[in-house]
Amino acid sequence: MQTVIFIFRLYILLALLIVTAIILAVPLIVLAIKKKKTARNIFAALVGVIVLMAGCLGLWLASHTCHPRINDWNYLGKNIEDIEQKYGEFSKIFVSQNGAGYAEYQTEDIIGRNVEIEYEVFRMDFDSTGKVMHVECHGPIGG
């Protein structure tokens, strides 16, 4: 599962680099040939747009580590009871003696449709106060 996510992110990064190289090549050629101030302005604007796009893509990848349709940041720091009220009863929950533990949903319960097997279970680890500290997606155990 982690390999698939890594390869997907690698392809996105590679595509972004290729598009960036193509977009930056045109103003550089114009700048080298004509040496005009407008070419430098175009180049600076394109660099700014590319940096903005890369930043947005980086934030999206950082916030959707589990599944492309689940924003992990929506769950981190929230109380486990509030999440249960919103999405219903957990598929599985484990609470240790100190109150910490984990809770699991079927991913399809959160996003509302069936998902591929790699992302079947959405797990939230919480501390003794019930605050979600970590989330992850995984397939069925033994699957």
No. of H helices and E strands in the chain?
4, 4
Q: Both 134 and 76 in a single domain? A: yes
Residue, of 119 and 42, whose pLDDT is higher: 42
- pTM (global) more than 0.75: no
Q: Do residues 137 and 70 touch, judged by C-beta distance below 8 A? A: yes
CATH number at residue 120: 3.30.1450
Q: Both 47 and 86 in a single domain? A: no
Count of domains forming the chain: 2
Neighbouring C-alpha atoms within 13 Å toward the C-beta of 7 = 4
Q: How confident is the model at residue 19 (pLDDT cuts 50, 70, 90)?
A: confident
Residues 115-132 pLDDT 10s: 555 567 888 999 999 899
- Assess if residue 8 is contained within a domain: yes
Q: Both 95 and 37 in a single domain? A: no
Please report which helix (H) or strand (E) contains residue 94, including its range: strand 92-95
Residue, of 127 and 27, whose pLDDT is higher: 127
Residue, of 66 and 82, whose pLDDT is higher: 82
- pLDDT, mean over the chain: 77
- Assess if residue 41 is contained within a domain: yes
DSSP for 104-136 reads EEEHHHHHSS---GGG-EEEEEE-TTSBEEEEE
**Residue 121: domain span:** 72-138
Give the residue-averaged pLDDT of 55-66.
Answer: 81
End of a domain among 11, 30, 63? 63
Is the pLDDT at 76 greater than 80? The verdict is yes
Which of 23-27, 52-56, 132-136 shows the highest mean pLDDT?
Answer: 132-136
Q: Both 57 and 108 in a single domain? A: no
Q: Both 45 and 97 in a single domain? A: no
Q: Closest Cα partner for 68 from 123, 16, 107, 102?
A: 107
